[in-house]
């Protein structure tokens, strides 16, 4: 609890270009959570360096993610939107939690196995201890809830295990977080392989719609989306391509799947794809307009960053001080 509200914490890595999947599946659903919860949304730039980054591009991406949070409708006066690397408590608690995390546990993480296969030339210790840093993110803010997709559930589980382990020795340091399953975001799949999640790290750019894609690109990518040959527009497990497009349309318009099927009754795949593309253009247009305005307003962004970094630091340092004291670290003279 912070004040009279429960705390909700989430964030995204500042790597790659965000996709429609990130937006419809996560970001869009974070808007207005601040009415019920005290919300923190981090730009997870410390996590990004487990993979080598080009400095200029990295700086641009991180800023762009922050601007996108705001463009998507997260009010930076009501939510704490900040850079993870601006709050040194993350790295400090990350180290402490490394000492409460077992190699065996980390070895079981499927994301570590996937990522070390993908970056076989750079399997660094940070990639291995990534979950302990993520635990630090969540626990610093005493989060009650963490909205996470399926791919991050294992990381939330290990966070809970670590928190319980620490609490068993140093009573009452951390709140034990739970997954947030309020309004589940849509799970958007790749346009080229609808059995795989749409991913910002996909090598094939035609599989993903990026949030900054222009209307022509969106239409072209959706026209090329993999479907099937039976030419009927219905939601079904054996029609992953068509079902994915229906999911996209439904999430973009706010209509149910049934209503979405109805909208295309008697139509062919050509019209269907055009309709889906239009719905995506419509949902991204205001986001892109907002983004372009915000990213060019340097003074505004700077002010937001300062204010929110301060707020994050205040809350995070409070937790860190409490733990330091219980563990027996010497007080830092003021
Ligand atoms: N690991 C998350 C991802 O790749 C990003 C992340 C880092 C995160 N720290 C977090 C998400 C804390 C939620 C809470 O998507």
In this structure, what token pair is assigned to residue 82? 């900040």
Phi first, then psi, for residue 330 (nearest 5°) are -65, 140
- Whether 57 maps to a domain, the answer reads yes
- C-alpha 137 to ligand 1 mean position (Å): 8
Kindly calculate the radius of gyration of the chain based on its CA atoms and give it in whole angstroms. 21
- Whether 189 maps to a domain, the answer reads no
Q: Which residues contact 170 (CB under 8 A, 6 or more apart)?
A: 323, 326, 327
Annotation marks residue 221 as catalytic = no
Tens-digit pLDDT profile for residues 63-75: 999 999 999 999 9
Same domain for 156 and 209: no
- Whether 187 maps to a domain, the answer reads no
Instruction: Choose, from 28, 115, 221, 273, the residue flagged as catalytic.
Output: 115
Q: What H or E segment, with its residue span, contains residue 291?
A: helix 269-295
Strand arrangement, sheet containing 6-13 = 80-83, 37-44, 6-13, 145-146, 178-179
Same domain for 52 and 90: yes
CA-nearest of 40, 19, 4, 2 to 180 is: 40
CA-nearest of 45, 36, 39, 7 to 26 is: 39
Q: Determine which residue's CA is closest to atom 13 belonging to ligand 1.
A: 10
Same domain for 227 and 141: no
Q: Which of 15, 41, 115, 137 to mutate to test the pocket of ligand 1 (most atoms within 8 A of CB)?
A: 137
Instruction: Choose, from 6, 200, 322, 326, the residue flagged as catalytic.
Output: 200
- CA 129 to CA 246: how far, in whole Å? 38
Q: What is the DSSP letter of 83?
A: E
- CA 282 to CA 11: how far, in whole Å? 25
Structural domains of the chain, count: 2
- Whether 28 maps to a domain, the answer reads yes
Same domain for 307 and 272: no
Same domain for 227 and 260: yes
In this structure, what token pair is assigned to residue 26? 């996560």
- Whether 238 maps to a domain, the answer reads yes
pLDDT at 111: 94
- Whether 198 maps to a domain, the answer reads no
Q: Determine which residue's CA is closest to atom 7 belonging to ligand 1.
A: 134
Cβ-based neighbour number of residue 75 at 10 Å: 13
Same domain for 157 and 12: yes
In this structure, what token pair is assigned to residue 197? 């999640």
Same domain for 28 and 142: yes
Same domain for 94 and 53: yes
Same domain for 306 and 273: no
Asked if residue 146 has its Cβ within 6 Å of ligand 1, the reply is yes
Same domain for 151 and 13: yes
Domain harbouring 155, CATH code: 3.40.50.620
Asked if residue 287 has its Cβ within 6 Å of ligand 1, the reply is no
Q: Label the pairing between strands 145-146 and 178-179.
A: parallel
In this structure, what token pair is assigned to residue 306? 């300062």
Contact 145, 177 (CB under 8 A): yes
Annotation marks residue 196 as catalytic = no
- Whether 42 maps to a domain, the answer reads yes
Q: What H or E segment, with its residue span, contains residue 8?
A: strand 6-13
- CA 259 to CA 273: how far, in whole Å? 16
Cβ-based neighbour number of residue 36 at 10 Å: 12
Asked if residue 9 has its Cβ within 6 Å of ligand 1, the reply is yes
Q: Determine which residue's CA is closest to atom 5 belonging to ligand 1.
A: 12
In this structure, what token pair is assigned to residue 133? 């840093």
Asked if residue 127 has its Cβ within 6 Å of ligand 1, the reply is no
Which residues form the domain of 249? Answer: 205-292
pLDDT (tens, 9 = 90+) of the chain, 334 residues, equals: 888 999 999 999 988 789 999 999 999 999 989 999 999 999 999 999 999 999 999 999 999 999 999 999 999 999 999 999 999 999 999 999 999 999 999 999 999 999 999 889 999 999 999 999 999 999 999 999 999 888 899 999 999 999 999 999 999 999 999 999 877 678 899 999 999 999 888 889 999 999 999 999 999 999 999 999 999 999 999 999 999 999 999 999 999 999 999 999 999 999 999 999 999 999 999 999 999 999 999 999 999 999 999 999 999 999 999 999 999 999 888 8
Asked if residue 45 has its Cβ within 6 Å of ligand 1, the reply is no
Contact 133, 90 (CB under 8 A): yes
Instruction: Choose, from 28, 197, 221, 273, the residue flagged as catalytic.
Output: 197
Domain harbouring 228, CATH code: 1.10.240.10
Same domain for 311 and 288: no
- Whether 186 maps to a domain, the answer reads no
Helices marked H in 170-268 — which ranges? 215-223, 240-253, 257-263
Same domain for 224 and 167: no
pLDDT at 184: 67
Annotation marks residue 5 as catalytic = no
- CA 334 to CA 321: how far, in whole Å? 13
């Amino acid at each position: 609890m912070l004040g009279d509200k429960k705390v909700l914490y989430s964030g995204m890595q500042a790597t790659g270009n965000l996709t429609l999947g990130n937006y419809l599946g996560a970001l869009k659903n974070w808007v207005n959570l601040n009415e019920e919860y005290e919300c923190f949304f981090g730009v997870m730039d410390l996590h990004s360096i487990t993979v080598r980054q080009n400095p200029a591009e990295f700086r641009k991406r991180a800023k762009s993610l922050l601007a996108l949070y705001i463009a998507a409708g997260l009010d930076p006066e009501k939510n704490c939107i900040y850079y993870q690397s601006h709050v040194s408590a993350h790295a400090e608690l990350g180290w402490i939690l490394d000492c409460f995390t077992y190699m065996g546990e980390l070895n079981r993480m499927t994301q570590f196995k996937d990522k070390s296969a993908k970056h076989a030339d750079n399997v660094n210790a940070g990639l291995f201890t990534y979950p302990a840093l993520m635990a630090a993110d969540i626990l610093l803010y005493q989060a009650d809830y963490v909205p996470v997709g399926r791919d991050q559930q294992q990381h939330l589980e290990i966070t809970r295990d670590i928190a319980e382990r620490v609490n068993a020795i140093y009573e009452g340091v951390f709140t034990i977080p739970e997954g947030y399953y309020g309004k589940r975001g849509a799970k958007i799949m790749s346009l080229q392989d609808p059995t795989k999640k749409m991913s910002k790290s996909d090598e094939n750019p035609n599989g993903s719609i990026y949030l900054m894609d222009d209307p022509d690109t969106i239409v072209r990518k959706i026209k090329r989306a993999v479907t099937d040959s039976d030419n009927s527009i219905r939601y079904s497990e054996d029609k992953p391509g068509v079902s994915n497009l229906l999911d996209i349309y439904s999430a973009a318009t706010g209509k149910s799947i049934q209503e979405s099927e109805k909208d295309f009754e008697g139509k062919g795949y050509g019209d269907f794809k055009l309709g889906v593309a239009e719905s995506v253009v419509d949902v991204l247009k205001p986001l892109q307009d907002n983004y372009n305005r915000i990213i060019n307003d340097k003074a505004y962004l700077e002010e937001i960053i300062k204010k929110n970094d301060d707020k994050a630091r205040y809350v995070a340092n409070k937790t860190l001080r409490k733990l330091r004291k219980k563990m027996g670290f010497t007080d830092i003279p003021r």
